[in-house]
Amino acid sequence: MYQVQYMRDKEFPNIKAGFIHIPFLPEQVTQRRQYQLPSLSLETDAVGIIAALNVMIDRDGKKDLFDY
């Protein structure tokens, strides 16, 4: 992630790059019971990621990137 951001900054200033942090899946959290970790289902993660992509595309105005 940091390398991509560095390359974007130094070599490709016109390219957009970002990072979306998503929580563990519920089945991953059950394997780490000693910690209280947040989790979301895969379906909920997908809905959130699609919503984030749509916002980025709407803001950029390039509908050809992703169409939902």
Amino acid identity of residue 47, one-letter, is V
Whether the CB-CB separation of 41 and 25 falls below 8 Å is answered with yes
Q: Is 61 left (phi over 0), alpha (psi -120 to 50) or beta?
A: left
Total domains present in the chain: 1
Is residue 4, in this structure, part of any structural domain at all?
no
Is residue 32, in this structure, part of any structural domain at all?
yes
Amino acid identity of residue 23, one-letter, is P
SS3 24: strand
Q: What are the tokens at 39?
A: 């989790």
Is residue 3, in this structure, part of any structural domain at all?
no
Residue-wise pLDDT for 1-38, tens only, equals: 789 889 988 998 888 788 889 999 999 888 777 778 88
**Which residue range(s) make up the domain with 59?**
20-68
Picking from 16, 15, 35, 11, the residue whose alpha carbon sits closest to that of residue 24 is 35
Is residue 1, in this structure, part of any structural domain at all?
no
pLDDT on residue 46? 95
Is residue 2, in this structure, part of any structural domain at all?
no
